[in-house]
Structure 1
Amino acid sequence: MPLSPPIGRQHLHTRRVVCQGFFRDDGLWDIEGRITDEKTYEHANEWRGPLKPGDFVHDMSIRLTIDHTFTIVDAEAVTDSSPYRMCGDIAPAFRKLIGLRIGGGFHRAVRERLGGVQGCTHIVELLGPVATTAFQTVSSKKARDLNRAHREKTGTLPPKDPNAAPKPPRKPYMLDTCHSWASDSEVTKRWVPHFYTGPDAEAVRAAVEGKDVEMEG
């Protein structure tokens, strides 16, 4: 359902954030984000001169390369458009992200390394949706299939141990992060019943014991 019809108004500003996730030929993952800002009217910029409607006030991008543990192994940031000449000078500082793991405490660690004058406000802000894009990319069945095929091709997939005990299911990263993924919701009950906490949780878990389900979301 769309938003309700607005009252009369004038469009002044547009911000766009686009994030994409890629599986690389070397078995790693590239997560890229781009943020742009533009005005609908001409305005002056002391450094760049007059900016026409649609000219980017900000156009900044970042690429994080991560491994299967969500650890950042490479980082590259660029500034293609900015209101001040010196904005792009800070882009190399984003290599400080190398070694961080996307997960609990990630945003706090980012602020410690790149907060305030140590970084760029817009690229730091962009790291929020980039991080969630990483989870959306790596957690899909398609991604797991690509990763397994690569490991089989390169001989890095460990052989199965027929005597090994089955691994317990891992807690999904999205559990209790929103209304739909509350631990007692119908979504959790359907897709990750092992972590369901509703009133019929015991019966639900017993009914699906040993069943592998594919998550959505």
Structure 2
Amino acid sequence: MPLPPPVEREPLHTRYVTCNGYKRNDGLWDIEGELIDIKSFDLQVAERNDGVIPAGEPLHKMALRLTIDYDLNILDVQACMDYTPFRHCPQIADSFRKLIGHRIAPGFTRLTRELLGGTQGCTHLLEMLGVLATTAYQTTHNEREKREDFGAQGGGRPPMLNTCHTFDTRGPVVKQYWPQFSEE
């Protein structure tokens, strides 16, 4: 069901976040995200284009690539900031390499805030890490399901149990598809 019709309004800001997951030929995965912010009006910013970012030109255009293994260990991180409001912004991109050696697992959001929150990182790239973590799970899910046999007849405990309303072990979906893990 779509959102109800809005009242008359004027568009001012658009944020695009695109994430893609790739299986590499070497058995690893690349999880990439791009964030683009665009204004519908000319924006006064002292350090860009003679002080003005024209309507439709990105205020922000940034990207992150996480290279992970099957266990969601982060093996490499690349960050770039092609458009920023200040020339100083891109200097922080390499700080995201602090994630190398860590794992996407419960507590990942807290970890990223500890490592890259505040002045230790970029707010926009930090926000994107949560979506990239979800993209990593989605990208590796089919292979994980095959290897660990999460099907209804399989013995492996599906990792998504109790991660949202639908996968509540006291709910109808788990009862139907994974009755051996149902608490109902």
Q: Structure 1 length normalisation: TM-score? A: 0.76
Distance 2:130 2:69 in 1: 18
More strand by share: 2
Q: Give the deviation of 1:37 after TM superposition.
A: 0.8
Match of 1:215 in 2: none
Q: Which amino acid aligns with 1:44?
A: Q
Partner in structure 2 of residue 181 of structure 1: 167
Aligned to 1:126: 128
> In structure 1, what is the equivalent of residue 110 of structure 2?
108
Q: Contact between 1:169 and 1:194, CA under 8 Å: does it hold in 2?
A: no
- Greater CA radius of gyration, 1 or 2? 1
- Deviation per CA, 1:138-160, whole angstroms, max 9, x where unpaired? 0125x767xx8xxxxxxxxxxxx
Q: What is the aligned length? A: 176
> What are structure 2's unaligned runs of at least 5 residues?
148-153
Residue 206 (structure 1) aligns with: none
AA matched with 1:169: G
Structure 1 stretches of at least 4 aligned residues deviating more than 3 Å after TM superposition: none
Using the TM superposition, give the Cα deviation of residue 59 of structure 1 relative to its aligned residue in structure 2, in angstroms: 0.8
Which residue of the partner structure matches residue 75 of structure 2?
73
Tell me the CA shift for residue 58 of structure 1. Answer: 0.8
State the match for 2:96 in structure 1: 94
Partners of 1:144 and 1:184 lie apart in 2 by: 22
Q: How far does residue 32 in structure 1 lie from its aligned partner after superposition?
A: 0.6
Distance 2:176 2:32 in 1: 32
**1:52 paired residue among 44, 49, 54:** 54
Residue type at the aligned position of 1:124: L
Written as runs of structure 1 = structure 2, the 5 A alignment for 1:1-217 is 1-48=1-48, 49-141=51-143, 168-170=155-157, 172-198=158-184
Counterpart residue identity of residue 32, structure 2: E
Alignment partners' CA distance in 1, 2:4 and 2:121: 38
User: Partner of 1:169: helix, strand, or coil?
Assistant: coil
| Counterpart position of 2:150 | none
Deviation of 1:179 after TM superposition, in Å, equals 1.7
Query: Does the 8 A contact of 1:56 with 1:81 survive in 2?
Result: yes
Root-mean-square deviation (CA, aligned residues, Å) is 1.7
User: Given residue 84 of structure 1, which amino acid in structure 2 is its aligned partner?
Assistant: F
| Matching residue's letter, 1:179 | H
Partner of 1:155: none
Residues 46-96 of structure 1 deviation map (CA, whole Å, 9 limit, x = unaligned):
011321221111111100000111100010010011111110000011111
Q: Percent identity at matched positions?
A: 48
